[in-house]
Chains A and B, each alone.
Chain A
Amino acid sequence: MSQTIAPFTGFGLGLRKPHHRAYLEAEQPVDFVEIISENFMACGGQPLATLEAVRERHPVAMHGVSMGLGSAHGLDRGYLAELKALARRIDPLWISDHLCWTGVPGHNSHDLLPLPYTEEALDVFVRNVIHAQDVLERPLLVENPSSYAAFAASTLSEWEFLSAIAERTGCYLLLDVNNIYVSSVNHGFDPREFLRGIPADRVRQMHLAGHSQGPEGMLIDTHDAPVCAEVWALYAEAAQRFGTTATMIERDDAIPPLDTLLAELDLARAVTRERLAA
């Protein structure tokens, strides 16, 4: 098993259904695309054919939402087998999933549920990451989610928890800048302290996305809007700290034409360029 993931610099977008035709018809000005792994696992027909055609033109990052790395009940072996089969087919840049759990045996929430940041949860998460990495024969990237509930039992901050996972498992990190911002508002921490607490040499990708206003001042990670000014500002600081890390914009709802997202991606390029020049 390869123990490392070489840095990859570039700017990408999520491969989403409304844009499949555009990707099939012409090479698009992106350095990579990211897929939702589950959309192509145990799957064939036109969806898989589309992915394979896009893969001929663009590197692909596999981003999952259902591994449930924080599950106290362990990982789904069938899920891991299907994920590994897809990875063999696609030869992705990397495979990522979230700092979360998704369900208990027999009941999947299909959501990224929050963990208490305790030593017990850390041990569980580390054990599951090591299991997944052994099966997949590659290091994972673990992403910080947005969260709406916190636990009084937590003894670590989210960034301390992430750092400990990276240190104990050899995994890498996918920093979602929008999620840092959303959670900082929801839980009242300083997002810059989050950035400072992350080991820069473990970050291999960053996500940008839009969010929406929830009840009582809460923010909800909805991926249905352009990246907001506050997140761009935080991204500029992240770009300065983490360098030219692979960056992509996630848009999963109210998906605009591809050209609109490409223009937004150009903003990410410009922010990175300006910040590195400074």
Chain B
Amino acid sequence: MSLAALQRAFIAEIAASDEDAPASSLGMQIYRQAYRGRLAAALEISFERTRCWVGEESFAQAAAHYILTHPPHCWTLDAYGADFPALLGELFAENPEVGELAWFEWTLQQAFAAPDRAALDPAALAAAGLDEAQWAGLRFTMAAGYAARPVRTACLALWRALAEGEADGFDPASGEWRRLIVWRRDHTPHFRLLDADEFAVLDALARERTLGEATATGDPARLGEWLAQWLGEGLFSGFSTAL
């Protein structure tokens, strides 16, 4: 057997879907257990509060399913849980706070260690002396770790309650759709809920649309107020203008 074939067979055995199938040797059994144990531990660390909310047994079942269906493909174990919130969203479809809480936990951690991007200094933008056409053609680069998603539960309040050990009896229903954004400024992750109008413009900018294009999607009367707030919050790390 070639080395390439041996390595494919080895990986297939330690990641075998039938957990109860006997390993070919005691050593292979050790590697198989280590594989599952390491991935399960990575998920437990990344989704500590979600695990607390759904309970250890439910979490372990979801993790086992994820490990079987999502072989790790990245060189860093820190990336392994990227698709776990989506899976939890499917598995706990009747409890939408679970997937949203997991997404928030994951995204905060990603923001914490995201590659550095210094916040855009509002004075630098003011000093650029842009004319009206240049303002309309302005594009922004988002802050380190920026991510966004719609949420329909009180997942932020739940996250806080879990941290304080006060989640017993917590009702996560909120009844309205909001947009949750996460980013990092300096060394600290930040997060905020937005209404649909504000998010529509910010989301367009995050998708590298120009300020002129983004404004067309939202309420132009509030644009100045929003822009000042976003700059003050460090939501951008840079800008460019095509003109």
Contact = CB atoms under 8 A, between A and B. Distances in A.
Interface in A96-125: 101, 103-104, 106-111, 113-116, 118, 120-121, 124
A262 B130 CA distance: 58
Contact of A148 (B30, B35, B75, B76): B30
A46 interface: yes
B61 interface: no
Interface stretch (B9-17, B169-177, B195-203, B217-225): B9-17
A148 B31 contact: yes
B28 A149 contact: yes
Given A107-B71, A107-B73, A47 B10 contact: no
A230 B124 CA distance: 63
Given A45-B114, A72-B2, A73-B4, A111 B35 contact: yes
Contact of A106 (B29, B71, B75, B116): B71
A34 B144 CA distance: 27
A42 B1 CA distance: 37
A188 interface: no
B211 to A, nearest CB: 27
Contacts of B35: 109-111
Interface residues of A, number: 47
A220 B72 CA distance: 23
B149 interface: no
Nearest to B1: A153
A98 to B, nearest CB: 14
B27 interface: yes
A41 B115 CA distance: 9
A257 interface: no
Contact of B7 (A39, A72, A78): A72
Contacts of B4: 72-73, 104
A108 B2 contact: no
A44 B31 contact: no
B161 interface: no
Given A103-B11, A214-B30, A218-B26, A110 B72 contact: yes
B77 A110 contact: yes
B33 to A, nearest CB: 10
B34 interface: yes
Contacts of B7: 71-73, 101, 104, 113
Contact of B75 (A43, A66, A153, A186): A66
A38 B75 contact: yes
Interface of B: 1-4, 6-8, 10-11, 14-15, 25-31, 34-35, 38-39, 42, 71-78, 80, 111-117, 144-145, 184, 187
12 contacts: A46-B113, A49-B187, A101-B7, A103-B72, A107-B72, A109-B11, A109-B35, A111-B31, A116-B3, A147-B27, A148-B27, A148-B30
